[in-house]
Amino acid sequence: MKWKPKDLLDLDNLTTEEIEHILQTAKPMREILSRPIKKLPTLRGKSVVLLFYESSTRTRTSFESAAKILGADTTNFTVAQSSITKGESLLDTAKTIQAMNVDLVVVRHSSSGAADFLADTLKASVINGGDGQHAHPTQALLDLFTIQERIGDIKGKKVVIVGDIIHSRVARSNAIGLQKMGADVTLVGPPTLLPTEMSYLGIKLSHDLDKELPGADVVMALRLQLERQQSGLFPSIREYSKLYGLSVDRIKKTGKQTIVMHPGPMNRGVEIASDLADSVQSVIEKQVTNGVAIRMALIYLLIGGGTGNVVD
């Protein structure tokens, strides 16, 4: 298919075919990653700016690796060393980047809508690397890719996402992507972190993890921001972990060889026990590897012309 979108802001404005096309494109990328010489000339001369307003290790590194493997040049625009600390607005920063004639901007920002805002302003393509509580589409795509890789067709599979749903851009983008791919998704968390308004997704919401585990093909734990305890959203880490923490014992309740996912970074012993995180059921490291492949696919589709064969 011919790739049309200029930007990747979230999964809700992608068609199922477009999502499938991204996943399909990521397959040869994944293969390139396992080669001894990981370098292609495909995007030579293209420039990618990584505009990260929030700290991030894996996402930024992942994008940077992806762009470099494809031969593009990358520039890091990190908050501490830039004029952002001198009070420059996002709009002016965007215009400055625009003036440098870059091809692609990857943005991470603590405000929901920051990526949409940039896409509205810039001629360059924009990939949302996570905006506030709104969306994290590349994480969702790499999760879809990982699920497909491990258990095949996503359609009809039961996926449980557990944790701080309301504050999670990962949960939102995953719920949308999984639904589009035909999965049966359930969101689980305490009422303070999974309030009723999440019903907008039109999927099952539950406060009882143990009740939802039977039959689950995939269980995804979200990172719990420990500071949220101080604002009263849950009484203690101990109680949270007791009610919603994943462990090898608990995951047995699925009655299946369930795969366990986590977007990282993990709080071991809080939302996920080490025994499970390091078990054969865990695909957490695979998620990281696949993240590079998915981002290669996206960068290629957005600024590589979307035609021709990437793999020689």
Partner 1 sequence: MLWIKNVTVIDPGQGVSGVNDVLVQKDKIVEVGPSFKAKEVLVKLGVTDINEVNQIDGDGKYLFPGLIDVHVHLREPGQEDKEDIASGSRAAIRGGFTSIMAMANTFPIVDQRAVVEFIKLQARRAGMARVYPISAVTKGFKGQELVEMMDIKDGGAVGFSDDGKGIQNAEIMRLALEYVKLTGCPIISHCEDEALASKGVMRRGRTSARLGLPGIPASSESVMVARDILLAAETGGKLHIAHVSTKESVEMIRWAKGKGIDLSAEVNPHHLIFTDEDITLTDTSYKVNPPLPSREDQEALLEGIIDGTIDMLATDHAPHTWEEKARPFQEAPFGINGLETSLAAVWQKLVQSGKLTPEKLVECWSLNPAQRFGIEGGTLKPGSLADMVLFDPLYKEEISTEAMESKSGNTPFLKKELQGFPVITWVEGRMLMKNRKII
Question: Does the protein bind partner 1 through residue 95 (CB under 8 A)?
Answer: no
Query: Which of 33, 84, 151, 166 contacts partner 1 by CB under 8 A?
Result: 166
Q: Does residue 45 contact residue 303 with C-beta atoms inside 8 Å?
A: no
Stretch that binds partner 1, among 39-47, 116-124, 152-160, 239-247 (CB under 8 A): 116-124
**C-beta atoms surrounding 286 within 10 Å:** 16
Please give the order of strands across the beta sheet that includes 104-109. Answer: 73-78, 47-52, 104-109, 125-131
Give the residue, chosen from 47, 62, 125, 133, that forms a contact with partner 1 under the rule CB under 8 A. Answer: 133
Interface stretch with partner 1, choices 30-38, 84-92, 142-150, 153-161 (CB under 8 A): 84-92
Is the Cβ–Cβ distance between 9 and 41 less than 8 Å?
no
- d(C-alpha 153, C-alpha 281), whole Å: 18
- Under rule CB under 8 A, residue 90 binds partner 1: yes
Exactly one of 46, 108, 158, 169 binds partner 1 (CB under 8 A); that residue is: 169
Q: Is 206 in the site for partner 1 (CB under 8 A)?
A: no
Residue 18: in which H helix or E strand, if any?
Answer: helix 16-33
Q: Which of 152, 156, 182, 195 binds partner 1 (CB under 8 A)?
A: 195
Q: What is the 3-state secondary structure (H, E, C) of 197-252?
A: HHHHHCCEEECCHHHHCCCCCEEEECCCCHHHHCCCCCCCHHHHHHHHCECHHHHH
Residue 291 CB, shortest distance to partner 1, in Å, is: 21
Note whether 116 binds partner 1 by CB under 8 A.
Answer: yes
Q: How far is the CB of 129 from partner 1 (least distance, A)?
A: 14
**186 contacts partner 1 (rule: CB under 8 A):** no
**Binding of residue 244 to partner 1 (CB under 8 A):** no
Instruction: Give the shortest CB-245-to-partner 1 separation in angstroms.
Output: 25
> According to the binding rule CB under 8 A, does residue 134 interact with partner 1?
yes
CA–CA dist 42, 64 (Å, integer) = 15
Residue 280, φ and ψ in degrees, nearest 5:
-70, -20
114 lies in the binding site for partner 1 (CB under 8 A): yes
At 32, list the tokens.
Answer: 């390139």
Contact residues for partner 1, defined by CB under 8 A: 89-91, 109, 111-114, 116-117, 120, 131-135, 166, 169, 172, 195, 197-201
